[in-house]
Amino acid sequence: MIHHLRGRLVEKTPTFAVVECSGVGYQVHITLNTFNQLGKDENVMLHTHLVVREDAQLLYGFSQPEERSMFLLLLGVSGVGASTARMILSAMNVDQTSQAIQSGDVNAMKSVKGIGAKTAQRIIIDLQDKLGAIDSSAVSSSGGLQSGHNNLQQEALVALTTLGFDRGRCEKVLGQIMKDTQEMTAVEDLIKHALKRL
């Protein structure tokens, strides 16, 4: 099992990062919160979890160990796979996810793509008693990638389609958000707004 990676950040997108360690580049699937936490530092450390499937071996990375712990708890819920767990932790940070579960907020969980009422209830029921193991000290998002609106929208579109959303629908939603919110400058904020509408 690969516990963590410490190396040079070669590439970073809202859905994955490439970290070079001793000449080997590891592609690591990340959440939007980790994307934001990575910043622009060249040397990074990611807490990782390897998901082995019949058709692939996927490495997931997190900037904080608390986020990995929440990811693993979510994976333990029947019907929640790695993609869904990453989607939850992209739509909400660890504190927000923990609060939604502990307060039994089904609507907050249902607001995440792919989470229906039954799955939301199952997550809450299964994890309410287990959250004491997590120290919810996730750092709130700040700053972000600065770019022109076209580049911002394009990067958000790539991230959303990678997560499985319909391209045409994404283009329409992103265009509307950019029209409604002129001051949008961080790609992770744009994606979070889009996740609430898709």
- What is the predicted pLDDT for the residue at 53? 87
Task: For residues 132 and 143, give the distance between their C-alpha atoms in angstroms, rounded to a whole number.
Answer: 30
Report yes or no on 169 lying in a domain.
yes
Domain-embedded: residue 98: yes
Q: What is the DSSP letter of 133?
A: G
Q: According to the model, what pLDDT value does residue 143 have?
A: 37
Shared-domain flag, residues 109 and 162: no
Regarding whether 126 and 156 lie in a shared domain, the answer is: no
Please report whether residue 155 resides in a domain. yes
* Tens digits of residue pLDDT in 151-174: 778 888 888 887 778 888 888 898
Output the domain CATH number for residue 160: 1.10.8
Confidence band for 96, pLDDT divided at 50, 70 and 90: very high
Q: Would you say residue 167 lies in a domain?
A: yes
CATH number at residue 123: 1.10.150.20
Instruction: Dump the DSSP string for 95-126.
Output: HHHHHHHHTT-HHHHHTSTT--HHHHHHHHHH
Residue 141 within a domain: no
Long-range residue pairs from 167-171, CB within 8 A, at least 24 positions apart, any chain: 169/198, 170/194, 170/198
User: Residues 28-59: pLDDT tens digits?
Assistant: 999 999 999 997 778 999 999 999 988 989 99
* Residues in contact with 83: Cβ distance below 8 Å, sequence separation at least 6, in sequence order: 114, 163, 164
| Number of independent structural domains in the chain | 3
Place of tokens 């609106």: 149
Same domain, 156 and 108: no
The answer to whether residues 85 and 126 belong to one domain is yes
**Side chain identity at 82, as an amino acid letter?**
A
| Domain span including residue 84 | 65-133
The answer to whether residues 58 and 88 belong to one domain is no
| Residue type at position 17 | A
Residues 58 and 78 in one domain: no
Mean pLDDT, rounded, for 73-91: 93
Domain shared by 69 and 128, yes or no: yes
Q: Is 139 exposed, middle or buried (CB count within 10 Å of its CB: 0-12, 13-18, 19+)?
A: middle
CATH number of the domain to which 51 belongs: 2.40.50.140
- Burial 33-56, CB ≥16 within 10 A → b, else e: bbbbbbeeeeebebbbbebeeeee
Domain contains 87? yes
Say which DSSP state 164 is in.
Answer: T
Looking at 98, 133, 168, which one is the last position of a domain?
Answer: 133
pLDDT at position 150? 67
Question: Residue 175 belongs to what H/E stretch?
Answer: helix 167-180
DSSP symbol at 14: S
d(CA 99, CA 101): 5
